Amino acid sequence: MRNLLIFITKYSAFFLFLIFEAIALYIFINYNNFQKASFINTSNEVTGNMYKRVNNANDYLHLKEINDSLANENARLRGLLKISKYVDSAAKGTVVDTIFKQQYTYIQARVINNSVNRRTNYITLNKGSRDGITKDMGVVADAGVVGIVVQTTPHFSIVRSLLHKDTRISAMLAASKEGGSFRWADDLDPHKGLLYDVANSAQPHLGDTVVTDQYSLFPIGIPLGRVSNLKPKTGGFFLNMEVKLAVDFSKLEYVYVINNKLAAEQTGLEAQQKKDE
């Protein structure tokens, strides 16, 4: 306390100056309408800018939370689409709304590691078996097919990317329904795929959409890309075609892992049939 009094006494002239300066400024602003208005406008602008910066900072800090919320909502809405349901033929005599049964549900996940410049590219997700993800589940983004789950731990999943030399997807031309097989292009371009062994009768055109078909582990109709170049095979009975990929793999952030609720039943039946052969 004694030191504080000594400090105030030592700099008393300076503190007295500040007090008089504040009084003078108050009188100047309070009794001069123009200066008062200018001061209020300036202070409002400064305060407004401060609030704007604080809000921008808060928005940035909560951006991940908002994105996660939107991605979860997208996953829910995907599950409501008709392609996520199947027709229960045994219930066709009932009310129309009840014949569509849920076949696919979607688990939202975030990409935490990704490669695009190798022959064998993989993607790591921040969700795993604890979230219901298992091996061989399909993975899609808003734009289209991403890959297939090949390994899980309780908290993470590894996805074999569409940009992988061994990835094969059963696909078709959306317009003609002519089927073929889809893989990454030979030149390892991260924007290019190849649809091959398509019947010549398909008569495809540049720009035609390529989607997953009914033989795929994905729901039918998920985009793979658009035809960018036609390549007739020797013999002329089949076509190969270059496809510009629907997904930009260099910008992946949120994806949806597809849970096929009928997968176990189907694979179990098919495994039993193979034993009987």
If asked whether residues 140 and 218 sit together in one domain, one would say: yes
Mean pLDDT within 64-68: 63
Q: Which tens digits make up the pLDDT trace of 20-64?
A: 667 766 665 565 555 554 544 455 455 445 545 655 665 555 566
Total number of domains constituting the chain: 2
Q: What is the DSSP letter of 130?
A: G
pLDDT of res. 133:
95
CATH code assigned at 250:
2.40.10.340
- Could you write out the DSSP letters of every residue in 200-264? GGG---TT-EEEE-TTSSSPTT-EEEEEEEEEEPTTSSEEEEEEEESS-GGG--EEEEEEETTHH
pLDDT of res. 275:
73
Comparison of pLDDT for 114 and 42, the residue scoring more = 114
Q: Which tens digits make up the pLDDT trace of 253-273?
A: 999 999 988 877 877 887 777
Q: Does residue 276 form part of some domain?
A: no
Comparison of pLDDT for 102 and 233, the residue scoring more = 102
If asked whether residues 71 and 56 sit together in one domain, one would say: no
Provide the pLDDT confidence category of residue 237 given band limits of 50, 70 and 90: confident
Tell me the three state secondary structure of residue 81.
coil
If asked whether residues 116 and 204 sit together in one domain, one would say: yes
Provide the pLDDT confidence category of residue 199 given band limits of 50, 70 and 90: confident
Share of the chain above pLDDT 70, in %: 64
- The domain boundary, picked from 11, 29, 61, lies at 61
Q: What is the DSSP letter of 126?
A: S
If asked whether residues 157 and 118 sit together in one domain, one would say: yes
If asked whether residues 53 and 84 sit together in one domain, one would say: no
pLDDT of res. 53:
63
If asked whether residues 174 and 43 sit together in one domain, one would say: no
| Mean pLDDT rounded to a whole number for the chain | 78
Q: Which tens digits make up the pLDDT trace of 145-159?
A: 999 999 999 999 999
If asked whether residues 86 and 171 sit together in one domain, one would say: yes
If asked whether residues 142 and 252 sit together in one domain, one would say: yes
Strand pairing category for 157-164 and 120-125: antiparallel
If asked whether residues 107 and 24 sit together in one domain, one would say: no
Comparison of pLDDT for 233 and 185, the residue scoring more = 185
Given a contact cutoff of 8 angstroms between Cβ atoms, the answer to whether 204 and 227 are in contact is: yes
Provide the pLDDT confidence category of residue 182 given band limits of 50, 70 and 90: very high
pLDDT of res. 22:
72
Q: Does residue 273 form part of some domain?
A: no
Mean pLDDT within 106-127: 94
pLDDT of res. 1:
61
Q: How many CB atoms lie within 10 A of CB 151?
A: 13
Encoded tokens for 198: 């398509």
If asked whether residues 73 and 48 sit together in one domain, one would say: no
Q: Does residue 50 form part of some domain?
A: yes
Encoded tokens for 107: 């688990």
Q: Does residue 77 form part of some domain?
A: yes
If asked whether residues 32 and 154 sit together in one domain, one would say: no
Residues 6+ apart with CB under 8 A from 256: 71, 74, 75, 78, 106, 107, 108, 109, 139, 140, 141
Closest alpha carbon to 179 in 154, 156, 167, 196: 196
Mean pLDDT within 190-217: 91
Q: Does residue 269 form part of some domain?
A: no
Domain around 112: 65-262
